[in-house]
Structure 1
Amino acid sequence: MRYLFVIYFIVCCFGLTGGSSFAQSDDLRDTLDARFESDLTTPYIGEPFTLQLTVEHPPHIRLIEWPAIEGDWDAFEVQEIDAIITEELANGDTRYTQTFQVTIWTTGDHVTPPTVVLYQREGETQILRARVTDVFFSVFSVLPTQDLNQLFLFPNRSPVGFFYLPVWVYVIMMAMVGGALWGGRRFLRGRRARRAARLSALKRLSPLAEALKILESASLQTGTRQKIDTLRDSIRVYIRRLWRIETEVLTDDELLIVLKDMKLLPQSDLDDLGSILRKLETARYAGVGVDNAMLEQATEHIRRWLVRSDEYVKGRDER
């Protein structure tokens, strides 16, 4: 009887232990597995490596929120983020994986930042948190300090020497440079003075005289387009000097409208001016019929118009 009681006691103890083990195994199946994995745990500073987040869970668990890993992630710099890949395993579990291209810019030992995955059991409203298993990294400098045999000193070399020059050579060189600077400055000042004198002389001229002087300078231009621009400038300078109209900001059509509205010239002179400007504009941009004969004819036409317009203005002022 005593032996039967001992056997019964042992069977009960075994049943309780086995039941708790199975219950514990079932409880373990109610959680999900989240872990980080890397192909390189000892990278050099600035060396890219792959970090993978893997999450596995049984069918009765639903994933609520995936952790956001991007940008400056603690000591890690996330450079590339792949899409999340979903797999159905043979045992019915679901596996999610996401790969990141990561770089660390600080030497020493590092661990992935604390990361959690939110999930929920089927039939429950409580949201649970699963901590992702960390990965440890040891980041080395680019300098191979772990292999001291690779470090060596270059052999001694003789110091670099400079050739010697006597002091009087330096004095002569400095004098030459100073003379060149002084001569260049004097040349530029003289050039500015001559240019200012020419401008002053032009300002003292009457509007008609200045326009005719510009008109005569057109023959000295080498390019056809430069000659045409000089012919146009003679007309615009005359109008600007005589009536203080800002011809630089006006097109040909706008200039004709302003002259017409101000009633500064008779309609026949305005029509003649419009014909001159249109011919110059066509020749300048289209290059139609542009030769020396045409340019000489245009020059003479403009000269007659300037003289006739100036006589009209003077006669009107006298009246």
Structure 2
Amino acid sequence: MKRIIVLIVMSLIWSLGLQAQTESTMTPDDVTPTATQTGLQVQLTDDVVAQLAVDGDSVLIGEPFTLTLTVSTVPGIAIDNWPELPSDPLVFEVLDAADVEETQTDGHVEYQQELIVTLWQPGLYLTPEIAVEYVRDNGQIGAVPLQSASINVESVLVNAVDPSLRPAAPPIDTPYIPPIVYGILVVVVATAFWLVLRMLGGGLRQIRFVTQTTPLQRAVAGLADIEQQNLPPVAALPLAADILRRYLAERFEIPATEQTTAELLQSVSEWMPSQRQRQLGQLLNQADLAKFAQHAPESDLTTKVTGFAIKWLRAIDGLTSNMEVTENE
């Protein structure tokens, strides 16, 4: 029994010695010293006054505002370790701290620092009480409390029953479109644009083809159209005569559409063969009779006149082309 008691006592002594050895090997970095732990007595004194001032009576939650930390001392006292407010990103956050400014007024030395801070919880908030350490000229070290500041934090919610913050809205999940889809769309749009231009280009080419036809081609097409319409001779002959006059005006640059039949035959007599002149005169005179004298020609005269007029046009156009070639040679 004695042996058991001795073993128990020795075990207790050994454990107490191990604990003491562990405490003696702790470094200063393992514990954050405070004013009390360093042996300083925190008490108010008229020689050193530390206080916080708030810029405004109330602030909005999350809104940056200014806190002014002021320490006023009598001459012969220095502030070696400037106090720092503890920052908590979820409640109290220090965004920026300006440099400490030192001024002397009315026999006092005043240290001042402006802090840009923000609060993240609505309601009444009191800044934490911390100790401000100072050193006298004789080496005596002391500490005074930093007076807390009261800040009213208002919620950004208007007429909210519950002033607590709401979670952020969920993100909008937009569908991902691969780049190849954009490439296909570009190709489709470009193809459609090319097809439209091709269709418009074909129409333009047809228009240019029509505008580039010769006076002979236009005159022959007009006479053929009259023949296909089966118009009565009273209406067809004046139209055929107008086509012949426009052909002469365009082909030979003479005012055929403004001249009478006699004037027109006189103007072409210098270069047109007499046989072609007589044929032209017959066509124009028959048209004048149908137009002005209301002469009623035979019903099949339209086909005869249009066919004869087409042959006359081709003969005159070929004759003038040969004359132009001979003049050029």
TM-score range, shorter chain: 0.3 to 0.5
Q: TM (normalized to structure 2)?
A: 0.34
Higher RCO (CA-CA < 8 Å; seq separation 6+): 2
Give the number of the structure whose alpha-carbon radius of gyration is greater.
Answer: 2
Q: TM (normalized to structure 1)?
A: 0.35
